[in-house]
Amino acid sequence: FVSAETYKIDSAHSNISFKIRHLVSNVKGSFSVFEGIIVYDDKDLSKSNVTAMISAASIDTNNSKRDEHLRNEDFFNVALYPEINFKSKRIEEGKRVVGDLTLHGVTKEVLMDVELTGVAEDPWGNTRVGFTASCLINRKDFGINYNKVLDQGNLLLGDDVSIEIEIEAILQT
């Protein structure tokens, strides 16, 4: 008897977003192209895992000029690093997922706070599972160092990036 089940992330009903300080406020953005697989074992979370891939070029901050800048060598350098990848390593205390995030060619371990938001059957007979996840990363840890010193000595951008993820995934049979 195997209680682990495999779910495919439904990108049409999921969201990967972020925010970073810019001057005196936060700029938000998201990625529109991503995929992933979640192996979820509700009886033994240590047997659960997740892998995900995000297209770095799919970044969207609701400003095309800024998005093009974010895609170039100053930030994501999507020509050289087209994907952002995550692979979990372990589940801690049932609510934290520890995994390797590869961004801009650099792999670092990150800790994501995760909450199961539900399991339900959709109108077409599919079983779906939902999760909310969040983490905070320092962009400089991944070699994304671009910034500007302003006339007053302040920096244009903050280093911390807050990541928020809403996932809905479909059971694979």
Q: pTM here?
A: 0.93
Determine the Cα angle at 6 with ends 161 and 56, to 5°: 30
pLDDT of residue 94: 72
Per-residue pLDDT of the chain (173 residues; tens, 9 = 90+): 457 999 999 999 999 999 999 988 999 999 999 999 999 998 888 899 999 999 999 999 999 999 999 999 999 999 999 999 999 999 987 789 999 999 999 999 999 999 999 999 999 999 999 999 999 999 999 999 999 888 787 889 999 999 999 999 999 98
